[in-house]
Amino acid sequence: MRIYCLLSLMSFSLFGATFQSASENFKFNYNDSDWEVVALRLEKNGAEDIDKSMAQQTVATIHRVQADDKYHARFHVVTDSIAKFTDTKTPVVSQYQKYTVEFLKSQRFQIFSVEPIQLPNVKETAFEITANQRDFGLKFKQVIFVHAGKAYILTATTRTEKYDAYKNELKVIFDSFEFLPTAK
């Protein structure tokens, strides 16, 4: 029995991977036997003109290797400008959280919860939002926080019926997110 447990621990570490973004100076861990990095795409054919006011930028995407009903569960890291939030009496992260919830509602999401949280490796206070997009049968978990003058939006998306099956894997990804030390 002890040998089996030792092999299980070793196999987890052998299949673990770290995504590291040099441009945004962060990293997170994932199981590379179940998840893979997805190349970021630049939109072509005029798609970039749809909304020039949108400052959001996807800086990392991984998805499950195995699709569920033609959909790959995924995890994204997106950054956004906080310049539009000018209320000096309310913390920017609270303003961004409200903005995010209103946007999700406008896209026909059913919001299940909005809670302040603290990610283990991020100093800043964050908000966790869980929601369901019934039109597509998807469940989302978003963690938003503000760091170094930008909003960071960490989003996990799964088929609604698969969310609980992937919950522990996603927790590892969210909990491992951290910023790398900067050279001085």
Q: Read off the pLDDT of each residue in 52-67 and give the average, rounded to a whole number.
A: 80
User: How many Cβ atoms are within 10 Å of 4's Cβ, its own excluded?
Assistant: 7
Provide the CATH number for the domain around residue 143: 3.40.1000.10
Give the model's pLDDT for residue 183: 63
- Within a domain: residue 72? yes
157 φ, ψ (degrees, to nearest 5) = -130, 130
Q: What is the pLDDT of residues 120-132, one digit of tens each?
A: 999 999 999 999 9
Q: Which domain holds residue 156?
A: 2-179
Determine which of 15-24, 61-70, 115-124 has the lowest per-residue pLDDT on average.
Answer: 15-24
Q: Is 151 a domain residue?
A: yes
Q: Which of 24, 18, 19, 17 is nearest to 182 (CA)?
A: 24
In a domain, 159, yes or no: yes
Secondary structure in 3-state letters for 56-92: CEEEEEEEECCCECCECCEEEEEEEECCCCCCCCCCH
Q: Read off the pLDDT of residues 147-174 as tens digits, 9 standing for 90 and up.
A: 999 999 999 999 999 999 999 999 999 9
How many domains would you assign to the chain? 1
pLDDT, tens digit, 9 for 90 and up, residues 88-98: 999 999 999 99
Residue 105 lies inside a defined structural domain of this protein: yes
Residue 184 domain-assigned? no
